[in-house]
Amino acid sequence: MRTRVQHTLQSLALANGLRRGATLWSQVGQHALQALPLAPFSGQRRAALLALYPVFQKAIDDLDQQVSEQALLHPQARRLMTQAW
C-alpha cells in the first residue's frame, strides 16, 4: 500500500513538472510536493495520500524493528544479516 501511495504521488509530481526521483520522499521533496499548485480535486488527493504515507512508513519501520530484534536472538539469522546485497 505504501508503494502504491508513493507511485501515485510520484505520478502527480511528474505530471506537474516536479522531477525529484527518490528525493521526493525527503523532507525537502515533501515540501516541494506540497507546494505544487494543483486543481482542487488533485490537491485533496495529494493531501489524503500525504497523510497516509507516514502511517504506512511507520508500520513498515515498526515491523522492520521487530524482525531485527527477533533475528538478533538467533545466531544463524544474525549471520544472514551481515550479508551485503
Which mean pLDDT values do the consecutive 10-residue runs of the chain (85 residues) have? 95 94 91 94 95 95 92 83 68
**9: containing domain:** 2-81
Q: Residue 35 corresponds to which cell in the numbers above?
A: 507546494
Q: In total, how many domains does the chain have?
A: 1
Kindly report the pTM of this predicted structure.
Answer: 0.77
pLDDT recorded at residue 48? 97
What whole-number distance in Å separates Cα of residue 48 and Cα of residue 51? 5
pLDDT recorded at residue 84? 59
pLDDT recorded at residue 85? 59
What whole-number distance in Å separates Cα of residue 65 and Cα of residue 77? 14
Q: Quickly count: other Cβ atoms within 10 Å of residue 46's Cβ.
A: 19
Q: Residue 53 corresponds to which cell in the numbers above?
A: 504515507
pLDDT recorded at residue 38? 94
